[in-house]
Structure 1
Amino acid sequence: MRYSVFWLAALLAGCASQSAWMPAPSNSIPAEVVMEGLEGTLSLRVGSNVAWRIDTYSTWLTASPQSGVGPRVVQLRAELSGEVASQAEYDGSLRISGDLEASVAVRLPLVRVVGSVAEGEGAASASLLPVGSQGLRSEGNGVRAASKPVEVLVKYRRDLRGVALPQGSRVLSHDAISRLTKLQAANPQALLQRLRLDPSVEWAEFNGTVSAQGEPTDQFYPRQWYLRSTGARFTYLQTYSQPVTVAVVDTGVRYDHPDLTGRLWLPGEGAYDFVGDAAPPTNPNQAYDPCADPVPGNPGDTDPTDPCDLLSSTGGSHGTHVTGIIAASSGPFTPACPDCTDSGIVGMAYNAPIKVLPLRVLDSMGNGTFEDVALAIRYAAGIPVQKGNQTLLNPQPARVINLSLGSLTYSNSMCEAVADAVARGVLVVAAAGNFQSRSPGALVYPAACPGAISVAATDQNNQVVFYSQQNSSVAIAAPGGNTAQPGGGVLSTTWNFTTNLPNYTFYMGTSQATPQVAAALAMLLSGGRASDASEAWALLRSSLTDLGAPGRDDAYGYGLLNLPGAFAWALPRGDFLVSFSGPTPREVAVVNGRFETYLVPGRYTVTACRDDTGNGLCDRTEPKLERPLQVSGRNTLDLGTLRVGP
């Protein structure tokens, strides 16, 4: 018994001593991590006293935490900025250092997504299909559009009497001189394929349609991308009969710019300069400086010609730039110099009887006072005002007032003037402001005054621009441009004060977005689509293309300006667009009805539309299909045919 106890004690002692000299378990770090979607984990199974640090060598990959002591589950995240690369997977690596050294390969597999887009009435039915990992297919479930007779044109190599017509085809007409025959069949696509395989056929094609094109041919019109973004390029489809005045409260205007001839109310017709001319020199031997400060307390005058621009001497006059966006004429004019253009640009309202009333309130540095702006707003609306003991009454009351100016300071005088103008049924459109970079979210006045329509700015990609103010007052967005992008500014009429010649310059700002909204509202009134201010704004707002967060948001307001929707224009058929919104938003090109892309696994919404406007967006009034989509697995995800309704 005593021996047995001793033996057990010895055995236990032996076990204890053995654990003391046995080596500790080795650290366990995987050589590879495969992420599922944008997130993944890296399990560090290390000793409790092991210190480690993680460095990432891939710009798209982040790890958290990046350092620690002991075992830990590290969170990995993919941050893919911009468009997802068209590739099967992203490859990255992590470097672990500290008390141990290791490398970990990180893979993010993408799912290849393919499909096609076609016309059809199956959009509503297809949108109700269930979501599954095998993709969405609508060929056998959607309701196909009723087929319309499609004709085929064919040119035979010899006289029609010597050829055999395809079975089931019917001759609709035949031109013996050109050997052009028009055929019809129950399946025109099959007929076309058979004809193209026939050695007796020179060529065959569908009898497509063409439509009259009335877009301007002005020299710089192709560089006015903003007219495409808003659909304003189709303004020729509308007839306008009602004269409308738009007041531009700004730096004044250059009446001698040939692209504005006949588009302005002249001195003596209601135009007014609330700043006044520069004071004459105190020394009669000195030359007169048109950029000098005006005489204090002067009553102004009836000539709002912009005398100079100290901010831009070679492409200046902010007011002229704003005015051109609204009303620059279309067609040839007498060039101002041998090398000058004879046609220039077109204003949004170029074919409407809309005239600009220039009201100067800003000086040569682009600065003005609350007092003058308030006076100009009331004056523009047809309300009597007093300036320098003079009572002024505008003989051309404006139905729309454009205010491409603003201040971060609240002003009772400006906001009361806006309220007075709105009470008279005048639309007051104001720039949301360019202070977002240094004063994010701050309110800008008069845009934030009750009753004013505050306008934000977008770029060529229909994204809100970095400078555009984002706040609770923003009501609508329009192209304001970004001159950092090639050709990305808004091109309009300006003046070279050095050579004293007209020219054209790219500007950017909410100042450039605002006149496009002002012009659109004036066009709705001129074209008879709206009878008053409230109706015009309601119609324009209901047709906007919703961007950003669904509904109204501080960046885009209610959405991007969309003229075809507001005017209900019947547009020529455009190209198809396909986009995916979800973990990695993506716009996909559709080529010959097919599309292909790679997506990170996750839940998306797929949208297909026919981009009749040609602005690269699926506007509210365009045929569209939208439905949820779960992207997962390792194989190709075939969405089948997305049928966009008529």
Structure 2
Amino acid sequence: MRFYALLALVLLAGCASQNAWMPAPPNTIPGEVVMEGLEGTLTLRVGSNVAWRIDSYSSWLTASPQRGVGPRVVKLEANFSGEIQSQAEYSGLLSISGDVETTVTVRLPLVRVVGAVADASLATTASLVPMGSQGLRSVTPGKASARPVEILVKYRRDLRSVALPQGSRVLSHDQISRLTKLQSTNPQALLQRLRLDPSVEWAEINGTVSAQGEPTDQFYPQQWYLRSTGARFTYLQSYTNPVTVAVVDTGVRYDHPDLAGRLWLPGEGAYDFVGDAAPPTDPNQPYDPCADPVPGNPGDTNPSDPCDLNARTGGSHGTHVTGIIVAGAGPFTPACPTCTDSGIAGMAYNAPLKVLPLRVLDSLGNGTFEDVALAVRYAAGIPVQKGNQTLQNPHPAQVINLSLGSLAYSNVMCEAVSDAVARGVLVVAAAGNFQSRSPGALVYPAACPGAISVAATDQNNQVAFYSQQNSDVDVAAPGGNTSQTGGGILSTTWNYTTNLPNYTFYMGTSQATPQVAAALAMLLSASKASSAEEAWVKLRDSATDLGLPGRDDSFGYGLINLPEAFAWALPRGDFMVSFSGPISRHIPVPNGQFETYLFPGTYKITACRDDSGNRFCDRGEPKLERQLQVGGRNTLDLGTMMVGP
């Protein structure tokens, strides 16, 4: 018995020894991974001593951990900045190096979602279908009947003495003007016969007219920011009260034809706190308007922008800011044979607003705290002293625009803001463009007590990458992003090389600020507000809330919304569908049908009639809100969603 027991032990030991010398199983790493939603896993079945590293070749795909030793389950995450592309699938590539060398394809399929949107107010009660687990069934609205064609005829003598053309019918007859309205199954043939009839003085189709609408200026279609804020509907409003907006900046080009008649001129209150450039030390040298001003000079009454060393072919920051507010609408005499004869339209093109140019920035765009403070007080109608001269503004401003700022706190600027606000003046200032290098830092005078601090958004209504985000941001307006095609803010500028007016795309909180200043001035001009405080509260409370609910550091109280602030009755707009969940998606639905691709997950879906055209479902617009579960690989059909008040 002992012998057999010993033999068994020997045999077992021999088996163990034999396994130790067998080759290890091969490393197993899948060549493809399919993610379900925004997260997934990659299982690395490798030996315990195998070192590895993972690098992603796709900006949207990350792996964690990126390196290790031995087997591991690696977490995969999809991260997208902004809105994703509407496509069926994303595909990425991971490179694995170290003791193993291979690549892994990562697929991220999306769910196809289709549906339709219709206006409940235009549908009959029988057409309305409640929303069930399968969505809404389609409803095909009936087509509106075409308006019958009518012919207006003026006969030379009494209708009773003439023979009416065969197939025509008299709808009405005005004996005083001898005007007869006819109808026929073939109106064009009737019109031709009438014009050949010697008893007819004239005949024409009873055409239609429409109310005057949006401007037709050449570059108006590129002013997307007027659509984002709803300022495109300013023609719906009548403005009666003259309002002055002071633009404290680099000065303005008075010779820009798009600003003609919209500026207070030299001698009417406009002022240059910087002063002209010093003459050359060598009298044989030409005068340089870009040179430094004479030290200690008192300035002068002509704030024309003489030079822009930062942008010689599309410069004058102050002119750009001014155009956003008051550039005119309609034709003007072009400055050259190839120059535009209409340009752009300012937000307040049809309101009696005038800009008071006050120059405080030099040819490099720099200025002093002292000059800014003097200009703010002067704009508000407070007497100031400059170079032993006492200056009094004959046209005090109701709104002051400050598209400038500093990271350094200034007592003199903040006291000036306080003095202006105490006089009932609205002081609107740029929140700053320092977010990339000084995130969250306060910028002055925007952060001064009493000032309205304006952040910037881009074409996608996202906070602009440069826009300051801090506790003093009050409201947002489009500031643009020139890296996006057509994404800058287009306005009036000057080509100092050719000495001709032109138009240039800028970006910045400098461009967002004048839109807020213009909106406030327009509320005062239209008697929608009787005081500065009332105008600000109305604009603030009507803003479209973006970002976190309520006030936040990126958008303040939200993106300004002029139709809501003015309570305009807008014409019917196109439909809009928004999805908010694992990703956000805003889909215009101009023809009532839509298709998109979404990641699996739970979404809040909002469908509306986007009357304001700002790609949001604003307060007062007919809409529908529902929760939606998106999953599976098949198409999800939402049917027809009926939107209503």
Sort the TM-score into its range (normalised by shorter chain).
0.7 to 0.9
1:508 matches 2:501: no
CA gap 1:297/1:583 in 2 versus in 1, 3 angstroms: same
2:211 corresponding residue in structure 1 = 212
Within 1, Cα distance between the matches of 2:338 and 2:443?
41
1:184 corresponding residue in structure 2 = none
Within 2, Cα distance between the matches of 1:386 and 1:591?
58
CA contact (8 A) 1:122 1:645 kept: no
- Which residue, 180, 184, 187 being the options, matches 1:176? 184
- Identity across aligned pairs (percent)? 75
2:145 corresponding residue in structure 1 = 152
Structure 1 residue 481, shift from structure 2 partner = 2.1
Structure 1 residue 370, shift from structure 2 partner = 0.5
Structure 1 residue 507, shift from structure 2 partner = 2.0
CA contact (8 A) 1:122 1:644 kept: no
CA gap 1:467/1:75 in 2 versus in 1, 3 angstroms: same
CA gap 1:89/1:254 in 2 versus in 1, 3 angstroms: closer
Post-superposition CA distance 1:222-269 (Å, at most 9, x none)? 222221221111111000011111111111122222222221112222
Within 2, Cα distance between the matches of 1:623 and 1:435?
39
Within 2, Cα distance between the matches of 1:530 and 1:360?
29
2:135 corresponding residue in structure 1 = 137
Classify the secondary structure of the residue corresponding to 1:483. Answer: coil
CA gap 1:135/1:44 in 2 versus in 1, 3 angstroms: farther
Q: Which one-letter code corresponds to 2:369 in the other structure?
A: F
Within 2, Cα distance between the matches of 1:40 and 1:71?
17
Structure 1 residue 179, shift from structure 2 partner = 6.9
Post-superposition CA distance 1:187-230 (Å, at most 9, x none)? xxxxxxxxxxxxxxxxxxxxxx9953421222222222221221
Q: Which one-letter code corresponds to 1:137 in the other structure?
A: G
1:19 matches 2:32: no
1:69 matches 2:69: yes
Q: Which one-letter code corresponds to 1:39 in the other structure?
A: E
CA gap 1:557/1:82 in 2 versus in 1, 3 angstroms: closer
Within 2, Cα distance between the matches of 1:286 and 1:59?
56
Within 1, Cα distance between the matches of 2:360 and 2:505?
23
CA contact (8 A) 1:601 1:631 kept: yes
CA contact (8 A) 2:54 2:63 kept: yes
1:114 corresponding residue in structure 2 = 114
Structure 1 residue 628, shift from structure 2 partner = 2.5
Within 2, Cα distance between the matches of 1:428 and 1:60?
42
Bigger mean CA offset, 609-618 vs 318-327: 609-618
Gaps of 5+ in 2: 124-129, 150-165, 170-180, 189-207
Bigger mean CA offset, 103-112 vs 594-603: 103-112
1:8 matches 2:16: no
Within 2, Cα distance between the matches of 1:25 and 1:576?
63
CA contact (8 A) 2:581 2:603 kept: yes
CA gap 1:265/1:51 in 2 versus in 1, 3 angstroms: closer
Q: Which one-letter code corresponds to 1:534 in the other structure?
A: E
CA gap 1:69/1:498 in 2 versus in 1, 3 angstroms: closer
Classify the secondary structure of the residue corresponding to 1:609. Answer: strand
Post-superposition CA distance 1:310-329 (Å, at most 9, x none)? 22233222212211111112
Structure 1 residue 617, shift from structure 2 partner = 2.6
CA gap 1:603/1:372 in 2 versus in 1, 3 angstroms: same
1:609 corresponding residue in structure 2 = 608
Post-superposition CA distance 1:87-135 (Å, at most 9, x none)? 4444455555554566655443322222211112799xxxxx99xxx95
Q: Which one-letter code corresponds to 1:77 in the other structure?
A: E
Within 1, Cα distance between the matches of 2:122 and 2:147?
32
CA gap 1:87/1:340 in 2 versus in 1, 3 angstroms: closer
2:578 corresponding residue in structure 1 = 579
CA contact (8 A) 1:583 1:600 kept: yes
1:413 corresponding residue in structure 2 = 412
Q: Which one-letter code corresponds to 2:36 in the other structure?
A: E
Post-superposition CA distance 1:403-430 (Å, at most 9, x none)? 0111111100001110111111110001
Bigger mean CA offset, 474-483 vs 367-376: 474-483
Structure 1 residue 521, shift from structure 2 partner = 0.3
Bigger mean CA offset, 9-18 vs 603-612: 9-18
Post-superposition CA distance 1:293-345 (Å, at most 9, x none)? 22222222222222222222332222122111111122222333333332222
Q: Which one-letter code corresponds to 2:108 in the other structure?
A: L
Q: Superposition pairs for residues 477-492 of structure 1, below 5 Å?
A: 477-492=476-491
1:535 corresponding residue in structure 2 = 534
Q: Which one-letter code corresponds to 2:7 in the other structure?
A: A
1:50 corresponding residue in structure 2 = 50
Post-superposition CA distance 1:485-534 (Å, at most 9, x none)? 33322222222333333222222221111111100000000001111111
Gaps of 5+ in 1: 124-128, 162-172, 181-208
Within 2, Cα distance between the matches of 1:256 and 1:106?
59
1:267 corresponding residue in structure 2 = 266
1:470 matches 2:463: no
Within 2, Cα distance between the matches of 1:265 and 1:435?
32
Within 2, Cα distance between the matches of 1:354 and 1:93?
57
Q: Superposition pairs for residues 223-234 of structure 1, below 5 Å?
A: 223-234=222-233
CA contact (8 A) 2:431 2:509 kept: yes
Structure 1 residue 83, shift from structure 2 partner = 4.3
Post-superposition CA distance 1:65-85 (Å, at most 9, x none)? 233222222112223455444
Classify the secondary structure of the residue corresponding to 2:517. Answer: helix
Bigger mean CA offset, 275-284 vs 471-480: 275-284
Structure 1 residue 276, shift from structure 2 partner = 1.8
1:593 matches 2:592: yes
Classify the secondary structure of the residue corresponding to 2:521. Answer: helix
CA gap 1:390/1:552 in 2 versus in 1, 3 angstroms: same
Q: Superposition pairs for residues 246-265 of structure 1, below 5 Å?
A: 246-265=245-264
1:342 corresponding residue in structure 2 = 341
Within 2, Cα distance between the matches of 1:322 and 1:565?
24
CA contact (8 A) 2:326 2:349 kept: yes
Within 2, Cα distance between the matches of 1:348 and 1:527?
14
CA contact (8 A) 1:477 1:513 kept: yes
Q: Which one-letter code corresponds to 2:634 in the other structure?
A: N
Q: Which one-letter code corresponds to 1:8 in the other structure?
A: A
Instruction: Using structure 1 for the length normalisation, give the TM-score.
Output: 0.84
Within 1, Cα distance between the matches of 2:270 and 2:93?
67
Within 2, Cα distance between the matches of 1:103 and 1:371?
62
Give aligned pairs, total.
Answer: 590
Within 2, Cα distance between the matches of 1:154 and 1:377?
58
Q: Superposition pairs for residues 315-330 of structure 1, below 5 Å?
A: 315-330=314-329
CA contact (8 A) 2:251 2:359 kept: yes
Within 1, Cα distance between the matches of 2:13 and 2:328?
98
CA gap 1:299/1:228 in 2 versus in 1, 3 angstroms: same
Within 2, Cα distance between the matches of 1:482 and 1:87?
25
CA gap 1:599/1:179 in 2 versus in 1, 3 angstroms: same
Bigger mean CA offset, 16-25 vs 404-413: 16-25
Classify the secondary structure of the residue corresponding to 1:573. Answer: coil
1:299 corresponding residue in structure 2 = 298
CA gap 1:580/1:473 in 2 versus in 1, 3 angstroms: same
Within 1, Cα distance between the matches of 2:103 and 2:218?
59
CA contact (8 A) 1:135 1:637 kept: no
Within 2, Cα distance between the matches of 1:380 and 1:463?
33
Classify the secondary structure of the residue corresponding to 1:334. Answer: coil
CA contact (8 A) 2:55 2:94 kept: yes
Within 2, Cα distance between the matches of 1:598 and 1:150?
30
Within 2, Cα distance between the matches of 1:458 and 1:224?
14
CA gap 1:94/1:10 in 2 versus in 1, 3 angstroms: farther
Within 2, Cα distance between the matches of 1:500 and 1:109?
56
CA contact (8 A) 1:93 1:104 kept: yes
Within 1, Cα distance between the matches of 2:271 and 2:94?
68
Q: Which one-letter code corresponds to 1:153 in the other structure?
A: A
Bigger mean CA offset, 25-34 vs 493-502: 25-34
CA contact (8 A) 2:586 2:615 kept: no
CA gap 1:86/1:245 in 2 versus in 1, 3 angstroms: closer
Within 2, Cα distance between the matches of 1:104 and 1:284?
74
Within 2, Cα distance between the matches of 1:432 and 1:501?
32
Within 2, Cα distance between the matches of 1:425 and 1:373?
19
Classify the secondary structure of the residue corresponding to 1:153. Answer: coil
